Amino acid sequence: MKACVLRFPEGKIKAMTFSYDDGVVEDKKLINLFKKYGVKATFNYNSSHFGEYNPTDTLVIPEGHLTADELREISADPQFEIACHGHAHPYYASLPQAAATSDLITNRKELERITGKIIRGFAYPSVSATNDVSETALKAADIAYVRTASAEPSNSFALPQNWYKWVPTCHHKDANLVFEKFAELKETVAAPCLMSVWGHSFEFERENNWELIENLLENCHSNPDIWFATNMEIYEYVNAFNRLVLSADGTKAYNPTKIDLWAGICTKNVRKAPIPTIKIPAGETVSLLEYLS
Ligand SMILES: [Zn+2]
Task: Report how far ligand 1's centroid is from the alpha carbon of 147 (Å).
Answer: 12
List the domain range (segments joined by +) for residue 185: 13-239
Task: Report how far ligand 1's centroid is from the alpha carbon of 155 (Å).
Answer: 22
Question: Does residue 5 form part of some domain?
Answer: no
Task: Report how far ligand 1's centroid is from the alpha carbon of 247 (Å).
Answer: 46
Task: Report how far ligand 1's centroid is from the alpha carbon of 270 (Å).
Answer: 46
Quick one: which of 132, 125, 147, 57 has its CA closest to 101? 132
Task: Report how far ligand 1's centroid is from the alpha carbon of 292 (Å).
Answer: 50
- Final residue of a structural domain among 239, 254, 269: 239
Give the C-alpha distances (Å, rounded to integers) separating 208 from 128, 175, 185, 258: 25, 16, 31, 44
Question: Does residue 3 form part of some domain?
Answer: no
- Final residue of a structural domain among 239, 256, 273: 239
Is 237:191 a contact under the CB 8 Å cutoff? Answer: no
Quick one: which of 139, 128, 77 has its CA closest to 104? 139
Task: Report how far ligand 1's centroid is from the alpha carbon of 66 (Å).
Answer: 14
Question: Does residue 269 form part of some domain?
Answer: yes
**pTM to 2 decimals?**
0.94
Asked if residue 166 and residue 109 are part of one domain, the reply reads: yes
Question: Does residue 2 form part of some domain?
Answer: no
Residue 57 has pLDDT above 50, yes or no: no
Return the CATH number at 202: 3.20.20.370
Asked if residue 249 and residue 230 are part of one domain, the reply reads: no
Task: Report how far ligand 1's centroid is from the alpha carbon of 89 (Å).
Answer: 6
Asked if residue 89 and residue 47 are part of one domain, the reply reads: yes
Widest CA span in the chain: 71
Task: Report how far ligand 1's centroid is from the alpha carbon of 156 (Å).
Answer: 22
Question: Does residue 251 form part of some domain?
Answer: yes
Asked if residue 278 and residue 192 are part of one domain, the reply reads: no
Question: Does residue 7 form part of some domain?
Answer: no
User: What whole-number distance in Å separates Cα of residue 100 and Cα of residue 133?
Assistant: 7
Task: Report how far ligand 1's centroid is from the alpha carbon of 183 (Å).
Answer: 29
Task: Report how far ligand 1's centroid is from the alpha carbon of 126 (Å).
Answer: 6
Backbone dihedral angles phi then psi of residue 262, each to the nearest 5 degrees: -125, 140
Asked if residue 216 and residue 85 are part of one domain, the reply reads: yes
Asked if residue 252 and residue 220 are part of one domain, the reply reads: no
Task: Report how far ligand 1's centroid is from the alpha carbon of 171 (Å).
Answer: 13
User: What whole-number distance in Å separates Cα of residue 133 and Cα of residue 193?
Assistant: 28
Is 44:19 a contact under the CB 8 Å cutoff? Answer: yes
Task: Report how far ligand 1's centroid is from the alpha carbon of 149 (Å).
Answer: 10
User: What whole-number distance in Å separates Cα of residue 105 and Cα of residue 107?
Assistant: 5
Strand partners, 194: 15
Task: Report how far ligand 1's centroid is from the alpha carbon of 36 (Å).
Answer: 25
Task: Report how far ligand 1's centroid is from the alpha carbon of 223 (Å).
Answer: 30
Task: Report how far ligand 1's centroid is from the alpha carbon of 125 (Å).
Answer: 4
Task: Report how far ligand 1's centroid is from the alpha carbon of 26 (Å).
Answer: 14
Asked if residue 210 and residue 82 are part of one domain, the reply reads: yes
Asked if residue 95 and residue 160 are part of one domain, the reply reads: yes
What pLDDT, on a 0 to 100 scale, did the predictor assign at position 51? 61
Residues 1-5, mean pLDDT to the nearest whole number: 73
Residue 128 has pLDDT above 80, yes or no: no
Asked if residue 23 and residue 155 are part of one domain, the reply reads: yes
* 291, burial (CB in 10 Å: exposed 0-12, middle 13-18, buried 19+): middle
Task: Report how far ligand 1's centroid is from the alpha carbon of 22 (Å).
Answer: 5
CA end-to-end span of the chain: 17
Question: Does residue 8 form part of some domain?
Answer: no
Task: Report how far ligand 1's centroid is from the alpha carbon of 172 (Å).
Answer: 15
Asked if residue 248 and residue 135 are part of one domain, the reply reads: no
Task: Report how far ligand 1's centroid is from the alpha carbon of 57 (Å).
Answer: 22
Quick one: which of 78, 163, 70, 83 has its CA closest to 119? 83
Task: Report how far ligand 1's centroid is from the alpha carbon of 132 (Å).
Answer: 14
Residues 37-41, mean pLDDT to the nearest whole number: 98
The structural domain count of the chain equals: 2
What pLDDT, on a 0 to 100 scale, did the predictor assign at position 152? 84
User: What whole-number distance in Å separates Cα of residue 190 and Cα of residue 266?
Assistant: 9
Asked if residue 283 and residue 195 are part of one domain, the reply reads: no
- DSSP for the chain reads --SEEEEBGGGBSEEEEEEEES-BTHHHHHHHHHHHHT--EEEEE-SGGG--S-TT----PPTTB--HHHHHHHHTSTTEEEEE--TT---GGGS-HHHHHHHHHHHHHHHHHHH-S---EEE-SSTT-SSSS-HHHHHHTT--EEE---SS-----SPPSSTTSB--SEEGGGHHHHHHHHHH----SS--EEEEEEE-HHHHHHHT-HHHHHHHHHHHTT-TTEEE--HHHHHHHHHHHTT-EE-TTSSEEE--SSS-EEEEE--SS--SSSPPEEEE-TT-EEE-HHHH-
Residue 226 has pLDDT above 80, yes or no: yes
Asked if residue 265 and residue 230 are part of one domain, the reply reads: no
- Final residue of a structural domain among 205, 223, 239: 239
Comparing 189 with 262, the larger pLDDT belongs to 262
Task: Report how far ligand 1's centroid is from the alpha carbon of 48 (Å).
Answer: 13
User: What whole-number distance in Å separates Cα of residue 20 and Cα of residue 25?
Assistant: 12
What pLDDT, on a 0 to 100 scale, did the predictor assign at position 64? 83
Residue 282 has pLDDT above 80, yes or no: yes
Say which range, 160-174, 241-255, 268-282, has the weakest mean pLDDT: 268-282
Question: Does residue 100 form part of some domain?
Answer: yes
How many other C-beta atoms are found inside a 10 Å radius of the C-beta of residue 209?
A: 14
